[in-house]
Structure 1
């Protein structure tokens, strides 16, 4: 391809990016800070946001890209939004990074765009690897590259697409490349499905340009969906263990899973021995991980779900990301532990503590000193000193008349942790639950982050997580403790009001 052609293509891409940024600037001016806008979560300044893309620690800063439609608060031709942070708490929005501009990522209908992917540091060049998607074209999905030397302005490679088709015909989807390097070789895992089975396909390359197909790294056993979106395969822990995170399609209420096993780089096979749902809330999808400068494996997910009511759309924006979460493997059973990153403690402001409180059966205990829509709570209940059949927990974002609240409860009989949002305001209702055994000392530990229109729950030191969006009235700020069917012992409740520099 001639230099002149490449220059013209870069000009067209820049023109599309500039149009997107202009539209975003105009739309942002109309978005009110109220109406469910979050205080300390990453969300778009305006327009639509879904999957996190291109998570990377680059030049001593955290970069997050995301699926973005800057022209309206609905899904449309996908662009890549971009934000960065020095501390994982305060985020700076940067110009749109990618816009559809080529025959492999732009078309006539709305079904086109720069779909999900990942990012790598290739000797100081920030390189994005993404899926170009165009409905009605054959093939519909191809894998593409864009690069930047300043971390802000990106040019699409003249030799795109770098992978021009799926390895065989008859598949369902071929998207969401996640790339990493091992022993000097680049590897890519791509989401795929065939014959009703979700699959993760593995490729390798020496230069990020020429890719060779290795094979199917892992596939469903018949119970894990018919296409695996957003696969992410990575080592974790001090041994040879690898984790594969997937977002399986058509698997009912299960929207994300993780598999633990061993990856053979010789055969390309990921032999997994354990699988489980990754998050048990309603609003968690398409998570992606990266390694930061401290060697931590950090995960961020989309804090929404396809097909749900999205009340914030009426206010010119849609979508948010979860808090950054650090992943580790438990020393006890080798399963995944997920905890909020340590940097979030910097948000802690005014502190209140309640200690050694007995909650009588069938009562609610208001906590007038603890209230707000931006809080961190850490509650520890002692089941050894509670009635054996008690159900207990917290009521969050309570209205003064008691008509609105979100209930977090633990049933000692069923050993189930539940989040009930049937009285949480507008938006989706429903109850989500997860099996949870008390810790060895009989305690139940609940760490909860409340942020205006979201609740993130980390149970028993990251053993289980539950993520939900809620949309209560602005004046629903109360917090209560409760017990049913027996007396309950609250060992401690620590509460902090949360603030950021911004």
Structure 2
């Protein structure tokens, strides 16, 4: 953040934010009046004096303002905290923002990100975040959009945040990409906004087309409808158009109708998946269009899948990808990934599971071959993936709705990006190969394997070890200040043991029957991710707070551990 200070003079409290700008800089500022009858304002000045101002009258919610500074140089932003509250202020230069990102001048204690510079997981620069959206490679770079609310750490009116990267691991924050309607942003009443969706390249030029659900809670007859918008500069979205104003008729669906995922089918046509719910269970709906731009002409094909497991209500965030060959080959298997909203595995008490179903997709129907859980830890939710060259890359929300809600401060992260592939008839989801670039230096190569305690210098660690035989029993005890945390393999399978001392009994995070030989475990401030046998089993668990894991000890039968390495990681 740039310099800021509070000046008190003559009984007035003035806050000043300082910025050294290039030419043609753009400010994005959210501010509100502190009193209903007195406007709030923020002024811009330089050595020649005041040259601009933005003002608002809303005292309920922060209003968005744009201000351009063409000349560059040293600029002061001043506002009276008695009359004005500022939530977020950042600036960027449109000409090079994709290379440099935004510069955040100001957040406040209610929406500030955690101060954990050693953390390597993606987090927003301010505010709330949930589902990944529009994940893809556009203009040569990976882009990540996400569900976002700027003004607090609690879920509220949904926007799309945005970041770009070169390696999926190190991200530059972009300006807010997609805004809800002005009516929805007038009050922080959680009525809706720009919900989850996807993005595809523009058909006739550079840029992208995004698809998203607009929710308005009190709208009748449809709370949720589907919209599309385009962006030629990959930085801001244009006006959105409605493409699906109604649910399919005579299908017995609830008002759940959301999360459009758009992709090219085996027949070369654009397809769209949507999540919904019926009396039968969760539903995946399939649409298609003959329009090569995907802008219009969307027609309903039918129910692609009905999910009855685990008392699922609605399906969320479905995506479908060719898995072991080109999309146009009828022999190619596809993987259908879907979040099971309100589901519960009663044998383990795990909720909101994510399933991956492998089968064949002919453009109209999906024939299942087998299915497996995407993540036995369940904190890899709303997973979204796309085909990047010859590999599938995906990312999920490192959280679970079982642990949060609209009344809970909940700063979260995204998971490590993962590949998806078939191996010996099983689905594997290992971390992307670039994850090795996070390694800073080796902390240990002998003591952990010998059963000794290994201390960590910070909370960013990778532990890699191999067992003498598949399924050899072990217990990796991870010392954490507030949580009992272990990774265990025993006769029942591979498990993450997580006990935080809460009143409710913790779910049993287990991959039943798993007999792994090779373990790779990533620790970060607030999370653990376990990958066994190169992603044959993956388990992701959020850890409340940001206290680091301090040390590890590996307890196993004599000779069961062939070798073990502990790496310090850096972002």
Q: Same fold (TM over 0.5)?
A: yes
Task: State the Cα distance separating 1:26 from its structure 2 match.
Answer: 3.1
Task: State the Cα distance separating 1:355 from its structure 2 match.
Answer: 5.2
Task: State the Cα distance separating 1:356 from its structure 2 match.
Answer: 10
2:529 corresponds to 1:456? yes
Task: State the Cα distance separating 1:67 from its structure 2 match.
Answer: 0.4
Contact 1:426–1:471 under 8 Å retained in 2: no
Contact 2:449–2:563 under 8 Å retained in 1: no
- 1:212 is matched with which residue? 299
- 1:257 is matched with which residue? 355
- 2:211 is matched with which residue? 129
Is the helix fraction higher in 1 or 2? Answer: 1
Aligned mate of 1:340, from 431, 434, 438: 431
Q: Distance in 2 between matches of 1:83 and 1:426?
A: 38
1:344 aligned counterpart, secondary structure:
helix
2:190 corresponds to 1:92? no
The number of equivalent residue pairs is 456
2:176 aligned counterpart, secondary structure:
strand
- 1:234 is matched with which residue? 321
Residues 291-323 of structure 1: CA distance to partner in whole angstroms, max 9, x if unpaired?
22x32111100001114159x975xx6221001
The structure whose RCO (Cα within 8 Å, separation 6+) is larger is 1
Whose Rg is larger? 2
Q: Distance in 2 between matches of 1:93 and 1:453?
A: 21
Consecutive unaligned residues of structure 2, counting only runs of 5 or more, are 1-62, 67-85, 91-103, 326-330, 345-349
Aligned mate of 2:477, from 379, 385, 395: 395
- Aligned ranges 1:32-431 → 2 under 5 Å: 39-101=119-181, 109-123=189-203, 124-137=206-219, 138-157=221-240, 160-168=241-249, 170-172=252-254, 173-182=256-265, 183-205=267-289, 206=291, 207-208=293-294, 209-221=296-308, 223=310, 225-238=312-325, 239-252=331-344, 253-254=350-351, 255-265=353-363, 268-292=364-388, 294-308=389-403, 318-330=411-423, 332-333=424-425, 335-354=426-445, 365-368=452-455, 372-383=458-469, 391-398=473-480, 405-411=484-490, 413-414=491-492, 416-422=493-499, 429-431=506-508
TM-score by length of structure 1 reads 0.83
Q: Distance in 2 between matches of 1:17 and 1:117?
A: 26
Residues 255-290 of structure 1: CA distance to partner in whole angstroms, max 9, x if unpaired?
21111111122xx11111212211011422110001
- 1:498 is matched with which residue? 569
Q: Distance in 1 between matches of 2:257 and 2:273?
A: 10
TM-score by length of structure 2 reads 0.73
Q: Distance in 2 between matches of 1:83 and 1:463?
A: 29
Contact 2:277–2:283 under 8 Å retained in 1: yes
Consecutive unaligned residues of structure 1, counting only runs of 5 or more, are 1-14
2:528 aligned counterpart, secondary structure:
strand
Q: Distance in 1 between matches of 2:307 and 2:527?
A: 32
